[in-house]
């Protein structure tokens, strides 16, 4: 593809999104592909006031980029996979999922060493209902307060004393070179990740065989792709959307795909979870099985309650 026009790579304009896009561009250039970065502002980036869930649900960080792809203003889109709705627009496909970074959430504290050390009633910043519910399950005394803005903005708010601690994705802090701010990596027993957390989604037009092939052949990581397909199938079956208190972690263990799913009430008092193992080549099926097991335990009622109270 070296003699072809450059591949126009669409991305959000935030520092983290640009890091992700530059990483993808560098990998493509290693394959002999010329790349042009195209920053695109999304509704989630433009509207920084209030909680994310107030902006209308899924797609607030992806719709404008997907529209540019469909309108052929770009040839390839890079997303944080956790932001990508499970139902993709007609004409687009998930062409590749590169190897995943850390799936963990971490605590960044001003003064304390761990979640256990936080004072009773400490103010913890997170805009995620998933994170809030899981934290309240183990520390119901915490005061969880919404926080918006990019990673740098959130850290400044922490340092200014607006919060006692933040919960952030470890992968984002690593990619931005500020992993030294991490106070505690939260274990999976306390905090399962969001669907797709730590992974990138490379989206193309379904009929663009040239770009689709080079991305799939050169950047896809099959174990990661299988893991996130299972997580997304679980989420789709639960009809939870990205804002519900739903967590999932897929991983390949001994050549078998393991998927853990968790659903909570918004206040964290009720938590149900299931872990099942299946064939990596049938990731969708494993995701649906985990969702069905969660539904049998009452997941649908918890998700409905979350919609009514948020």
Q: Mark whether 207 and 242 lie in a shared domain.
A: no
Same domain as 211, residue 78: yes
Flag whether 24 is in a domain.
yes
Q: Is the pLDDT of residue 1 over 70?
A: no
Mean pLDDT computed over every residue of the chain: 91
Q: Does one domain contain both 210 and 245?
A: no
Q: Where do runs of H (alpha helix) occur along the chain?
A: 15-30, 43-46, 63-70, 129-138, 151-159, 170-175, 209-219, 222-238, 283-296, 299-309
Specify if 227 maps to a domain.
no
Q: What is the pLDDT of residues 206-235, one digit of tens each?
A: 999 999 999 999 999 999 999 999 999 999
Q: Do 93 and 109 fall into the same domain?
A: no
Distance CA 103, CA 186 (A): 10
Question: Cβ neighbours of residue 24 under 8 Å, at least 6 residues apart?
Answer: 9, 35, 76, 78, 98, 200, 202, 219
Is the domain of 90 the same as that of 45? yes
- CATH number of the domain within which 76 lies: 3.40.190.10
* Same domain membership, residue 109 and residue 94: no
Residue 167 has pLDDT above 50, yes or no: yes
Please give the torsion angle defined by the CA atoms of residues 164, 168, 170 and 175, in that order, rounded to the nearest 10 degrees.
Answer: -110
Which pLDDT does position 64 carry in this prediction? 93
- Token pair 């030294």 is found at 180
Range of the domain at 287: 235-309
Question: What pLDDT digit, counting tens, does each position of 243-271 carry?
Answer: 679 999 999 998 899 999 999 999 999 99
Q: Is residue 193 part of a domain?
A: no
The active-site residue out of 45, 75, 83, 254 is: 83
> What whole-number distance in Å separates Cα of residue 141 and Cα of residue 124?
11
pLDDT digits (tens, 9 = 90+) for 189-211: 999 999 999 999 999 999 999 99
pLDDT average, residue stretch 38-66:
65
Of 16, 75, 56, 33, nearest to 200 by C-alpha is 16
Q: What distances in angstroms separate CA 140 from CA 106, 132, 199, one per listed residue?
A: 18, 10, 30
Share of the chain above pLDDT 70, in %: 92
Query: Is residue 109 domain-shared with residue 94, that is, in the same domain?
Result: no
Q: What is the pLDDT of residue 58?
A: 60
**159: annotated active-site residue:** no
The mean per-residue pLDDT over the stretch 49-72 comes to: 72
Are 64 and 204 in the same domain? yes
Q: Does residue 81 sit in the same domain as residue 205?
A: yes
Q: How confident is the model at residue 113 (pLDDT cuts 50, 70, 90)?
A: confident
């Amino acid at each position: 593809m070296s003699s072809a026009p450059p591949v126009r790579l669409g991305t959000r304009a935030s520092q983290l999104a640009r890091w992700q896009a530059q990483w993808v561009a560098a990998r493509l250039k290693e394959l002999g592909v010329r790349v042009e970065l195209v920053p695109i502002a999304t509704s989630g980036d433009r509207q920084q006031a209030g909680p994310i869930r107030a902006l209308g649900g899924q797609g607030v960080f992806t719709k404008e980029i997907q529209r540019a792809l469909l309108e052929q203003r770009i040839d390839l889109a890079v997303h944080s996979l956790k932001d990508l709705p499970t139902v993709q627009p007609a004409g687009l496909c998930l062409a590749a999922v590169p190897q995943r970074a850390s799936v963990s959430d971490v605590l960044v504290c001003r003064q304390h060493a761990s979640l256990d050390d936080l004072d009773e009633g400490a103010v913890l910043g997170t805009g995620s209902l998933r994170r809030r519910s899981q934290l309240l399950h183990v520390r119901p005394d915490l005061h969880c307060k919404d926080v918006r803005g990019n990673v740098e903005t959130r850290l400044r708010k922490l340092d200014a004393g607006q919060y006692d601690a933040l919960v952030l994705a470890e992968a984002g802090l690593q990619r931005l070179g500020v992993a030294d701010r991490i106070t505690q990596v939260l274990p999976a027993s306390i905090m399962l990740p969001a669907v797709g957390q730590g992974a990138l989604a490379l989206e193309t037009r379904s009929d663009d065989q040239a770009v689709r092939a080079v991305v799939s052949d050169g950047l896809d990581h099959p174990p990661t792709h299988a893991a996130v397909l299972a997580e997304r199938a679980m989420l789709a079956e639960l009809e939870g959307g990205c804002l519900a208190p739903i967590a999932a972690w897929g991983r390949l263990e001994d050549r078998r795909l393991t998927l853990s799913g968790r659903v909570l009430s918004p206040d964290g008092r009720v938590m149900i979870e299931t872990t099942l193992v299946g064939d990596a080549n049938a990731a969708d099926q494993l995701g649906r099985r985990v969702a069905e097991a969660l539904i049998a335990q009452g997941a649908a009622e918890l998700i409905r309650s979350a919609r009514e109270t948020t």
